Structures are given as C-alpha cells and as structure tokens.
Amino acid sequence: MTGTEWTITATVLAGLFGLLIGSFLNVCIYRWPRDLSVVRPRSCCPSCLAGLLEKAGIPLYSEDAEFEEAIDAGEFARFAPAARIAWYDNIPVLSYLLLRGRCRRCGAAIGWRYPLVEALTGVLFAWFVWHLGPTLAALKFCVFAALMVGLVFSDLETLLLPDEMTIGGFFLGLVFAVLAPRTGLFSGILGLMGMATGLRAGSLVEALIGGLLPAGTIWFGGWLFEKIRGKEGLGFGDVKMLAAVGAFLGIQGALMTVILGSVAGAVIGWIYIKVKGEDAGSYQLPFGTFLGAAALYSALAGNGLLNWYARGV
C-alpha cells in the first residue's frame, strides 16, 4: 500500500472503531450517573425494562429527584436480560435507521442521542487519524474526544459529570503527556531555565499545570461567588472536567475552553431561558456540555494541534 492508501485505510478503521466506542459511551452516559455497572448486564431497552418492572409490581424508585427513572442496581441486573437488545438491533447508527428510531419489541422511541453520539465519535476518531496518522498523538486525541462526547451528553441529560470521565480523564491526560509528549508555554519556559530536562518531563509538567491552574482558578472564582452571592455559581464537576481538559490540551487549550464555553453557555443559556420562559433564578445550565463542545473545538481548531511535536514519535 502507498502512504495515502494506508492513511485512508487507517482513517476508515478509526471511524468504525469510533462508532463502537460511541456505542459504549451511550451505555456509560446512561449508567454511570445512575451508579450502574457499564459491563453487566448487556444493553437493554429502558422502556421494555420499565414495563417488566411495572408488571412485576416493582416501583421505579428515585434516590435523586433529578432522576425520574433511576433504577435499583439489583433489580436492574435481575430484569435487564429479559429486556436485552439483540446484537443486530444494536449496530451503531445503522440499527437506529433500520428500526426507524423505535424499539423492535415495545415500539418505544429510541433517543436521538444514541445515533448522534455514535456518529459524532466515529467522525472525530476518523478526523484525528486522518490529520495525525495512526500515531500515539492520534490515539491521545481520540481518547480525549471520547471523554468529551461522554461528558457533553451526560451533563445535557442528567446535569452530572461522572468522576470516571473527569478525574479519570485528568489522569489519562497525564499518561498521554508522557506517551505522546508536546511542548507548550510552561515546558518551554522550564526548558529555558534548564529545570524540566527532556521532552517527556516538560510535557508532563505542562499537563499538570494545564490541568491544575485554570481549574483551580475557576474553583476559587466559584468559591468567591458563593461567599459573596450566597448561591452556588459553579458545580465541582465542571472544575474536575476542566482539569481533564487542561491535562490533555495544556494551559492555552484549557483557557480557550473556559472562555469559549462561558460565552457560548451564557448566550445560548440566555436564549433558552427567553424562548422557553424558564425562571432564570432556578434554571440550571449544563455548563459541562458547553465546556465539552468548546474543548472539542479547541482540540480541532485551536492550539491543541499547534506546537505539536509528536507526529513522528
């Protein structure tokens, strides 16, 4: 194969793999905020499951008022196999189209989130492999894309940002800083001072500062807001999410994410409140959704791809 043929093949494979990862993300988005295992049982239709529980006289209880369909983990494991989705009805994007967005058994509508998350993850994986080749650098951005897509839709649906993806993402960012090193503002300064010798050490320092400094700053801002205004301005999940973004994209990427995410969140949130006639005092903006979209934009178009060393590593 020529170089171009190889890149095209790798891009197609990455896109297909992204569809599968997107399918897994859909499971995580539903189960992690409900503290359910993402491994067992296999995928099931929530509305078939609700029907089975109702028939058995088991009420769907809710620990958290925000969760109308929170399910007890034990009952979930017991009843889910009977509500299982067959493999041929669980093919990313394709099954949704063939089934015309409805469950084969109960006919309930399947959320548009399912094919959207799958398609989005597939396109992002293909994009990064197309631009960076089949490299560790591309793997790093694919992992980052999966984390952001997961967080965007978790926050949109449940107003929760699971620690698995925020704190887990921060540590993955540190690992990739060593595996696929990059230079940035701080590693450059430290290198000039002769402090962080070597590309990997400098890259790790960059990821640590990028992860902790912007996140620490907005945490402090939120704490101050709470002291002065006496109401919560920012969820701690957003702070942890920004730490993950900074560990992957460095300090410039994290700053770009905060600025873009805040502006987009303020504008779109304001429009939403006006159009829907929501009460501005009690409306809770899924800020993580905007942070995630801004972080993906930064990774695609911002300096996430600039200063990039690792193409040949």
Q: Residue 76 or residue 186: which is nearer to Zn ion going by CB?
A: 76
Minimum separation from the CB atom of position 57 to Zn ion (A): 19
Q: Residue 106 or residue 190: which is nearer to Zn ion going by CB?
A: 106
Q: Residue 38 or residue 103: which is nearer to Zn ion going by CB?
A: 103
Minimum separation from the CB atom of position 114 to Zn ion (A): 13
Would you count residue 78 as binding Zn ion (CB under 5 A)?
A: no
From the list 63-71, 100-108, 141-149, 293-301, the region that binds Zn ion by CB under 5 A is 100-108
Range 201-220, binding Zn ion (CB under 5 A) = none
Q: Residue 111 or residue 188: which is nearer to Zn ion going by CB?
A: 111
Q: How many residues of this chain interact with Zn ion, rule: CB under 5 A? A: 6
Minimum separation from the CB atom of position 81 to Zn ion (A): 14
Minimum separation from the CB atom of position 30 to Zn ion (A): 14
Give the angle 107-108-112 at the CA atoms, nearest 5°.
Answer: 120
Q: Residue 86 or residue 266: which is nearer to Zn ion going by CB?
A: 86
Minimum separation from the CB atom of position 79 to Zn ion (A): 12
Range 31-60, binding Zn ion (CB under 5 A) = 45, 47-48
- Which of 105, 131, 200, 311 binds Zn ion (CB under 5 A)? It is 105
Minimum separation from the CB atom of position 286 to Zn ion (A): 27
Minimum separation from the CB atom of position 169 to Zn ion (A): 32
Would you count residue 106 as binding Zn ion (CB under 5 A)?
A: yes
* Contact between residue 36 and residue 71 where contact means Cβ atoms under 8 Å apart: yes
What are residue 40's phi and psi, to 5 degrees? -125, 145
Q: Residue 106 or residue 123: which is nearer to Zn ion going by CB?
A: 106
State the SS3 of the chain.
CCHHHHHHHHHHHHHHHHHHHHHHHHHHHHHHHHCCCCCCCCCECHHHHHHHHHHCCCCCCCCCCCCCCCCCHHHHHHHHHHHECCHHHCCCCHHHHHCCCECCCCCCECCCHHHHHHHHHHHHHHHHHHHHCCCHHHHHHHHHHHHHHHHHHHHHHHCCCCHHHHHHHHHHHHHHHHHCCCCCHHHHHHHHCCCCCCHHHHHHHHHHHHHHHHHHHHHHHHHHHHHHHCCCCCCHHHHHHHHHHHHHHHHHHHHHHHHHHHHHHHHHHHHHHHHHCCCCCCCCCCHHHHHHHHHHHHHHHCCCCCCCCHHHC
Q: Residue 48 or residue 161: which is nearer to Zn ion going by CB?
A: 48
Would you count residue 80 as binding Zn ion (CB under 5 A)?
A: no
Q: Residue 20 or residue 103: which is nearer to Zn ion going by CB?
A: 103
Can you name the residues that pair with 102 across neighbouring β-strands? 109
- Which of 27, 103, 119, 264 binds Zn ion (CB under 5 A)? It is 103
Minimum separation from the CB atom of position 45 to Zn ion (A): 3
What are residue 84's phi and psi, to 5 degrees? -60, 145
Binding-site ranges for Zn ion (CB under 5 A) = 45, 47-48, 103, 105-106
